[in-house]
Amino acid sequence: MGEASTSIRLNPFKGCDGPEGTPVPWSPYGRILAERPNFTLDPLFHAGCYYVQDSSAMFVGHLFRKHLPDKKGLRVLDLCAAPGGKTTDLAASLREAFGDDFELVANEVMKARVGILADNVGVWGDPNVTVTSADPAVIGRLMKGYFDVLVADVPCSGEGMFRKDPRAVAEWTPELPGICAARQKRILADVWPALKEGGLLIYSTCTYEDCENDSNLEWLASELGGEIIAPEDEFPDYGVRLTRCGSLLKAGEVPGEGQWAGALTKTASVASSRCKIADLRPLESRLQIFDEKIPRVELDLQQALRYLHRDTLFLPEAPLGMLVVCYRQHPLGFVKNLGKRCNNLYPKSRRIHMDV
């Protein structure tokens, strides 16, 4: 199948500043790189100027944009959101379409994964994204009829990741697809009440198994109430296959790894409840707000890496007090300049650990 490619998606609200590459056909800001750089040593990565995401995974964002309702105040739930690639893609698409008039909830039930989701959302920098860690059943019970769009990239048997992830190969068994399909049905049934009638579901996996892909979407339409949106043959020259209900990207046939995605409109009625996002007990935001009133100081590459390493900086020519430190005019974070030294206020959870 050849080697896995490396791709990024640029942040259109931070100047699309990032590595050059070949455009991803289904993503306006996706780029496939000629080789994998050391992202840890690129301050632009830490500034949220781009996100490292597999090009096949960007197909979910394409399907989302293709079927996005033309409605202000749109409420979107990214159900299984960690580590944040699809969330940041959705956020950029929503902001381009609606400006500040949308809500995006990025949910991750696994406590071990929600921290990295919160960090990645914070670095991306969209204030309209809220991070939660609620069970799908809780969301379905508390948020009846609240969301206009549900994006569910559900846990799966992972066959599309075999080329990149040896652990996925080691964990696979003949029984695993059936086990995963049953779990996916439970997740969808649990959260289904939260999607309003007429709402849009984008359903995706990173596996090739029919029982987890087309058959599950057909089951959902039949048992829970929905109408499958017929897939279109948009990218045959780039290796994207059509299936009964969606689009399949297979590693070795497309530049990226494996992905399947399909869409459905909910037809079942639901009685909306009086609810709000606060009912899901969101995590505290990790977004840093860089007030224009705070003086900004430009760092060179080595200074920026030392800052991201949480080393002490010396900025004798800078004003005293709180400062925003930048690299290529992109804010990285805060320091407090005491004159002889600066207190480094970069978040501990984000510091780079390798030698700089």
**Residue 18, in any domain of the structure:** no
Predicted local confidence at residue 2, as pLDDT: 67
Residue 1 lies in a domain: no
In a domain, 28, yes or no: no
Q: Are residues 254 and 329 part of one domain?
A: no
Q: Looking at residue 231, what is its pLDDT?
A: 98
Q: What tens digit of pLDDT does each residue of 292-313 get?
A: 999 999 999 999 999 999 999 9
Domain count of the fold of the chain: 2
* Catalytic positions: 206
CB atoms within 10 A of CB 167: 11
**337 in any annotated domain:** yes
**Is 239 within a domain?**
yes
**Cis peptide preceding 83, ω within 30 of 0:** yes
Helices (DSSP H) in 16-98: which residue ranges?
43-46, 58-66, 85-98
Q: Are residues 310 and 273 in the same domain?
A: no
Are 255 and 338 found together in one domain? Answer: no
Compute the CA torsion angle 65, 70, 72, 73 (nearest 10 deg).
Answer: -50
Output the tens digit of pLDDT for each of the chain's 356 residues.
Answer: 567 899 999 999 999 999 999 999 999 999 999 999 999 999 999 999 999 999 999 999 999 999 999 998 999 999 999 999 999 999 999 999 999 999 999 999 999 999 999 999 999 999 999 999 999 999 999 999 999 999 999 999 999 888 888 888 888 899 999 999 999 999 999 999 999 999 999 999 999 999 999 999 999 999 999 999 999 999 999 999 999 999 999 999 999 999 999 999 999 999 888 899 999 999 999 999 999 999 999 999 999 999 999 999 999 999 999 999 999 999 999 999 999 999 999 999 899 999 88
Q: Is residue 4 part of a domain?
A: no
Return the amino acid letter for 59: F
As a whole number of angstroms, the distance between CA 162 and CA 172 comes to 9
Q: Is position 42 within any domain?
A: no
* Last residue within a domain, chosen from 237, 256, 280: 280
Q: Which residues form the domain of 325? A: 296-350
Q: Show the tokens assigned to 54.
A: 């597999």
Residues 238 and 192 in one domain: yes
**How far apart, in whole angstroms, are the C-alpha atoms of residue 48 and residue 51?**
7
Task: Look at residue 14 and tell me if it is in a domain.
Answer: no
